[in-house]
Structure 1
């Protein structure tokens, strides 16, 4: 009775996700006549979601579920194409490599029993799982052979380095706190003077040992008040000119005189001065080299899979 109940719930869930029963038990796609069953797709789908940081239970939208399922199917088609290419090439995977990969996977489980339970849940016995690993490794080997790329030339690396020098530099920056007492744009001189006087009284409290952050939390009318007036690190050009001029004239620990900006009256305390730094050229060029290689490999992978698809007969039955 319990099994029947769970079976009915599963059918209901699939119907809510716009999945027909025939899709569960049938064929999702054919690749050069080789069937990819929905059982195989569902098994791969769980791994695909895991790689995306998701789980089936967390997906509430049928359209999102369908999109991920289609992406998983396309990935599975690519895997099948690579495996077929490996077979055509007569490529063999060293059994020792397969066993090493198996032991690596087993070591992630707390016991042999928990590993066996996971295999059973995924529809494998150990022999079948070894065959699956062999196919996965063979597909990877074929893909590597199809996507070999040359190391970027030094000329190209140097050219990109010179074009992007600013990306490898961090300009001079300040970490500061401030207290802002706002003055409306249309305020008269008397109102402005009253706000200035209020800020001056806070300045006197600071000179007598009051804590700047505590005063900012109590009196500042800026969104930074909750953080004790702490601002995000800023560089020249980030702040309005009167604020910038006053802040960059301070040394760490200093508090400015009252500063008038378009927003009102400020007191500024400099917490930290961070001088400009540049990434060493050799390190920056290595990053460029790695990025170029990654980009070229991704493009080569897409091209290789596109060629395999163009030369193959692919029939998608489940969407």
Structure 2
């Protein structure tokens, strides 16, 4: 129901109007350019984009065509629902319209949205009935038994090592930069600056506060926090010193190609293997989602292949 509510909200601006130029026909039923244009804006918004942000004509055309294909699929599913005699009760439709009204922001906002989209309440109610019917038939067509246990166990055994959590540490650091090729005096001067900073911290100064004030790394604004990372992620000298610390310890100055570091180990998480029960359930859910996604692709491909589709839009 939540997914359906989201889809209804995204598809509100797709009015039934077929006046004007036609973008496509599905078994003779028209999808107007008006309908495509209104849906295209919502299609992009769902992807976090806006029409004005697409400057590449080729990318614009590809996205617009993808939106048209989505509308064609919607029409195919509605027509399939009609063929199968899918009936959505008036009570179910009224309930869904009310859910949409409340989700959009109440009666006044809802009425304004309908008007902007070219709907009145009666046409939107019928539109909702169509969408519910299309979703019902799609769910029925993509039903499956889920992955069999033998496949789940085989996948788990193959990928078990990848599913465990590696040893990770969380560190903060303070960096005094040293340019590549700097002379020995410059290198030593940077080390002494860092030693001076190090001496301040045991006197009660907080490492994060000192890092914010004195570090020359981009992480200074986060108090030097580098987050959690496993072995193999950082520069070798930095990593060796960091993993040698105990939580709460601060390293001596550590030299790397970018300069001198003080490293504070905040947390240390040991490696852990996933239990068989956890791993099998994770795999079961993952494979079920993959299976469902493939079923959806297959169903839509079959519907396209056995119905008459004319794509007229060539913008």
8 Å CA contact 1:41, 1:73 repeated in 2: yes
Q: Does structure 1 residue 87 correspond to structure 2 residue 82?
A: yes
The equivalent position to 2:301 in structure 1, one of 300, 303, 306, is 306
The answer for the alignment partner of 1:98 in structure 2 is 93
Q: Distance in 1 between matches of 2:218 and 2:46?
A: 38
Larger Rg: 1
The answer for the alignment partner of 2:129 in structure 1 is 134
Q: Distance in 2 between matches of 1:211 and 1:112?
A: 53
The equivalent position to 1:40 in structure 2, one of 32, 35, 39, is 35
8 Å CA contact 2:252, 2:262 repeated in 1: yes
The answer for the alignment partner of 2:241 in structure 1 is 246
Change (3 A) 1:85 1:282: same
Q: After superposition, where does 1:196-207 map in structure 2 within 5 Å?
A: 196-207=191-202
Superposed CA deviations along residues 207-264 of structure 1, whole A, max 9, x for unmatched, are: 4444434544455444434444332323233334443333233222222233344555
Query: SS state of the match for residue 226, structure 2?
Result: coil
Q: Distance in 2 between matches of 1:111 and 1:199?
A: 60
The Cα of 1:93 is off from its aligned counterpart by 2.4
Query: SS state of the match for residue 238, structure 1?
Result: coil
Q: Distance in 2 between matches of 1:175 and 1:304?
A: 47
The answer for the alignment partner of 2:5 in structure 1 is none
Change (3 A) 1:208 1:149: same
Q: Select between 92-101 and 219-228 the one with higher mean Cα deviation.
A: 219-228
The equivalent position to 1:177 in structure 2, one of 172, 175, 184, is 172
Change (3 A) 1:202 1:155: same
Change (3 A) 1:186 1:305: closer
The Cα of 1:314 is off from its aligned counterpart by 1.3
Q: Does structure 1 residue 315 correspond to structure 2 residue 303?
A: no
Gaps of 5+ in 2: 1-17
The Cα of 1:62 is off from its aligned counterpart by 7.4
Change (3 A) 1:26 1:200: closer
The answer for the alignment partner of 2:68 in structure 1 is 73
The Cα of 1:280 is off from its aligned counterpart by 4.1
Query: SS state of the match for residue 98, structure 1?
Result: helix
8 Å CA contact 1:176, 1:231 repeated in 2: yes
Q: Does structure 1 residue 268 correspond to structure 2 residue 257?
A: no
Gaps of 5+ in 1: 1-22
Q: Distance in 1 between matches of 2:105 and 2:229?
A: 49
Q: Distance in 2 between matches of 1:44 and 1:206?
A: 59
Change (3 A) 1:218 1:131: closer
Superposed CA deviations along residues 122-154 of structure 1, whole A, max 9, x for unmatched, are: 222333222222221222122122212221112
The answer for the alignment partner of 2:219 in structure 1 is 224
Query: SS state of the match for residue 91, structure 1?
Result: coil
The answer for the alignment partner of 1:285 in structure 2 is 280
Query: SS state of the match for residue 87, structure 2?
Result: coil
8 Å CA contact 2:146, 2:291 repeated in 1: no
Q: Distance in 2 between matches of 1:291 and 1:200?
A: 51
Q: Distance in 1 between matches of 2:179 and 2:44?
A: 53
The equivalent position to 1:258 in structure 2, one of 253, 261, 264, is 253
Q: Distance in 2 between matches of 1:226 and 1:251?
A: 24
Q: Distance in 1 between matches of 2:216 and 2:109?
A: 58
Change (3 A) 1:127 1:217: closer
